[in-house]
């Protein structure tokens, strides 16, 4: 696949009580490990964006199968992570996902890439419940230039990036028809959401 994968793992996890969401587990496997495994069969270029050059970054580097990028605009949200990760990507298309998406699915990324190649747009987003999902979407690498301009202007909203470029969406029914579960773009960003996930884990183990 001539596309890269960028995993955003630089958030401060405020809603999760400051916990590193990348290290939360599902099925005894850390979220970040699940995502790297999913992406590794899809691309030869996986980039993990982190907030600082600490123990977490060093542990990732030791793996040898991912590139680690430090967020230049740390604390400024997903737009900042996109800018840092996309600037380092080797391929013209980039699958963007967040570290708190335990059901990230490369089959969905492939469908997004197919649509990207069919249309002259800069991004293709899943439309879930009628809402576009800017994370777990595919973009052209060069959008990092626009992201940097926005960040330098003090803008940090992902919607501001979408407002600056052409994009299209794929409805959830298309993913469902391809066998991709609806939850592929779900995120786990609160203790309550994590507890619900753990209940799912328990029921699946039984």
Q: What percent of the chain has pLDDT over 70?
A: 93
Q: What whole-number distance in Å separates Cα of residue 36 and Cα of residue 29?
A: 11
143 by Cβ neighbours in 10 Å (0-12 / 13-18 / 19+) ranks as: buried
75: in domain: yes
pLDDT reading at 113 higher than 70: yes
Instruction: Compute the mean pLDDT over every residue in the chain, rounded to the nearest whole number.
Output: 92
Residue 122 vs residue 28, higher pLDDT? 122
**CA-closest candidate to residue 97, choices 199, 27, 6:** 6
Is 96 part of any domain?
A: yes
Check pLDDT > 90 for residue 194: no
Where residue 52 sits, what CATH number does that domain have?
3.90.550.10
Domain that holds residue 190: 3-199
- Residue 202 pLDDT > 60: no
Residues tagged in the binding site annotation for Mg(2+): 100
Report field, pTM of the whole predicted structure over 0.85: yes
Q: Is residue 204 part of a domain?
A: no
Q: Binding site for GTP, residues?
A: 8-10, 21, 71, 100
Q: Residues 150, 164: contact at Cβ < 8 Å?
A: yes
Assess if residue 206 is contained within a domain. Answer: no
Q: Has residue 12 been placed in a domain? A: yes
State the pLDDT at residue 206.
32
DSSP-assigned beta bridge partners for residue 98: 8
Residues in the chain: 206
Q: Do the domain assignments include residue 205? A: no
**Considering its fold, how many domains does the chain have in total?**
1
pLDDT at 108 over 50: yes
Q: Give the residue numbers of the binding site.
A: 8-10, 21, 71, 100
Please report which confidence band the pLDDT of residue 197 belongs to, taking 50, 70 and 90 as the band edges. confident
- pLDDT value of position 201: 57
- Residue 137 included in any domain: yes
pLDDT at 205: 39
Of 106, 124, 127, 107, the residue nearest 115 (C-alpha): 124
3-state secondary structure of 1: coil
**Cα-based distances in Å from 8 to 32, 76, 104, 172, 195:** 10, 12, 12, 23, 22
52-56, 88-92, 149-153, 154-158: least confident range: 52-56
With respect to residue 154, please indicate whether it lies within any of the assigned structural domains: yes
């Amino acid at each position: 696949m001539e596309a890269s994968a960028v995993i955003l793992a630089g958030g401060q996890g405020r809603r999760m009580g400051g916990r590193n969401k990348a290290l939360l587990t599902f099925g005894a496997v850390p979220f970040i490990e699940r995502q790297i495994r999913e992406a590794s069969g899809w691309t030869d270029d996986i980039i993990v964006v982190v907030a600082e050059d600490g123990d977490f970054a060093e542990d990732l580097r030791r793996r040898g199968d991912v590139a680690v990028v430090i967020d230049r605009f740390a604390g400024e949200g997903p737009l900042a992570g996109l800018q840092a990760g996309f600037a380092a990507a080797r391929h013209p298309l980039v699958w963007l996902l967040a570290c708190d998406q335990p059901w990230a699915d490369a089959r969905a990324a492939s469908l997004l890439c197919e649509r990207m190649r069919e249309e002259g747009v800069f991004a293709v987003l899943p439309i879930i419940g009628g809402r576009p999902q800017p994370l777990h979407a595919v973009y052209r690498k060069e959008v990092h230039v626009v992201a940097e301009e926005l960040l330098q202007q003090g803008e940090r909203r992902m919607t501001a990036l979408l407002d600056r470029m052409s994009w299209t969406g794929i409805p959830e029914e298309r993913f469902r028809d391809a066998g991709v579960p609806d939850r592929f773009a779900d995120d786990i960003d609160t203790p309550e959401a994590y507890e619900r996930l753990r209940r799912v884990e328990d029921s699946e183990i039984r």
